[in-house]
């Protein structure tokens, strides 16, 4: 990250701290494609458009609302990011990870990150909720490339347990209480915006991936660098290319599946946030 971008980040954090007052959030939730509408805006709190945050990259993709909500959930001060920037939009990884670094400067200790993904694992049906155990970075880049931000974390962060095990256990407990079925799996991040080919999906499966998407990994790397606890959850909004040889892939299908499964995901997320 350049010195200019670092100063922009510090300016954005200072602006939000002034807006939040004394109680900054301890938990952040990043909502993936279609989940902004599905999660909605909780009662109380305040909505802050991304455009009002200095230097913030405003999302441009359908299904990403482009604002923040700050308020109380279960006694926790929570910041909800309703929509994200993507690498495939032509953004830099500094821009893609801007919100997550902003969370770190605000003092966030726990990040819950969600996404819409394609199911590679043949045991995962469309609409499956998947707790992420690990990831594979196929973006060809890393958000920590370049000068290290010593203020946020070490030069060589450990990624061996980036997805915090005790948070997955909490998510499974909430899911059981709510009567929600969850799977566990490995997420692979592809660059996009074209969907993957059947050959690429076969290769990802051989590598050990269960779901595929175009986000999340840069944010998780940055959050792990900053020492946050991380919970990742995917909605398998479609079967990945070639898993169903007769299927075609569209963004509209992603949004529709998220709409259908959104209430279930919302219950799961609210239950987790209330128990952190």
pLDDT in tens, 84-103: 888 998 889 998 999 999 99
Q: Where are the domains of the chain?
A: 3-274
Annotated catalytic residue 64? yes
Verify whether residue 214 is a known catalytic residue: yes
**pLDDT for the residue numbered 261:** 79
pLDDT, tens only, 171-206 = 999 999 999 999 999 999 999 999 899 999 999 999
Q: What is the value of pTM for the model shown?
A: 0.92
pLDDT value of position 64: 45
Q: What does the pLDDT read at residue 50?
A: 81
Q: Please report the pLDDT score of residue 248 as a whole number.
A: 63
Task: Give the model's pLDDT for residue 4.
Answer: 76
CATH class of 3-274: alpha beta
Catalytic residue among 116, 226, 236, 240: 116
Catalytic status, residue 88: yes
Distance separating alpha carbons of residues 253 and 250, to the nearest angstrom: 5
What DSSP character marks residue 244? B
Rounded Cα–Cα distance for residues 89 and 86 (Å): 6
Helical H runs in the chain?
Answer: 3-20, 35-39, 93-96, 98-106, 165-178, 198-207, 217-225, 251-274
pLDDT at residue 249, rounded to an integer: 62
Q: How far is CA 104 from CA 50, 69, 110, 245, in A?
A: 17, 17, 9, 43
**The pLDDT value given to residue 55:** 82
* Contact status, residue 229 vs residue 169, Cβ threshold 8 Å: no
- Residue 1 confidence (pLDDT): 64
Active-site residue (options: 37, 138, 184, 251): 251
Question: Among residues 12, 33, 115, 196, which one is catalytic?
Answer: 33
CA distances from 84 to 72, 124, 169, 252 (A): 22, 25, 26, 18
Verify whether residue 215 is a known catalytic residue: yes
Residue 251 is a catalytic residue = yes
Q: Is residue 89 annotated as part of the catalytic site, yes or no?
A: yes
- Could you say which of 12, 99, 190, 214 is catalytic? 214
- Residue 211 is predicted with a pLDDT of 97
- Which stretches in the chain have pLDDT values below 50? 62-64
What pLDDT is recorded for position 252? 73
pLDDT value, residue 39: 83
Instruction: Examine the residue annotation and report whether 33 is marked as an active-site residue of this protein.
Output: yes
The residue annotated as part of the active site, out of 88, 137, 148, 184, is 88
Q: pLDDT at position 244, please?
A: 66
Which residue out of 238, 240, 264, 265 is catalytically annotated? 238
Choice among 72, 89, 184, 256 that is catalytic: 89
């Amino acid at each position: 990250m350049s010195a200019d971008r670092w100063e922009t980040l510090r300016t954005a954090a200072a602006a939000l701290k002034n807006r939040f007052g004394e109680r900054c959030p301890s938990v952040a939730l990043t909502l993936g494609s279609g989940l902004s509408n599905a999660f909605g805006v909780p009662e109380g709190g305040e909505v802050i458009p991304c455009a009002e945050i200095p230097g913030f990259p405003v999302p441009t993709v359908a299904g990403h609302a482009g604002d923040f909500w700050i308020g109380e959930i279960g006694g926790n001060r929570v910041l909800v990011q309703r929509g994200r920037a993507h690498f495939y939009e032509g953004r830099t990884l500094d821009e893609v990870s801007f919100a997550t670094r902003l969370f770190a400067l605000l003092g966030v200790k726990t990040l819950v990150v969600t996404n819409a993904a394609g199911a590679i694992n043949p045991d995962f049906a469309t609409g499956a909720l998947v707790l992420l155990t690990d990831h594979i970075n196929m973006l060809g880049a890393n958000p920590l490339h370049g000068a290290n931000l010593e203020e946020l974390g070490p030069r060589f962060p450990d990624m061996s347990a980036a997805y915090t095990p005790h948070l997955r256990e909490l998510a499974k407990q909430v899911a059981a209480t709510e009567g929600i079925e969850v799977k566990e799996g490995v997420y692979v991040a592809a660059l996009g915006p074209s969907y993957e080919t059947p050959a690429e999906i076969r290769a990802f499966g051989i590598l050990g991936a269960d779901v595929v998407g175009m986000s999340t990994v840069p944010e998780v790397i940055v959050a792990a660098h900053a020492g946050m606890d991380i919970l990742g959850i995917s909605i398998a909004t479609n079967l990945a290319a070639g898993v169903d040889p007769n299927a075609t892939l569209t963004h509209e299908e992603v949004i529709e599946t998220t709409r259908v499964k959104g209430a279930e995901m919302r219950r799961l997320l609210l239950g987790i946030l209330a128990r952190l």
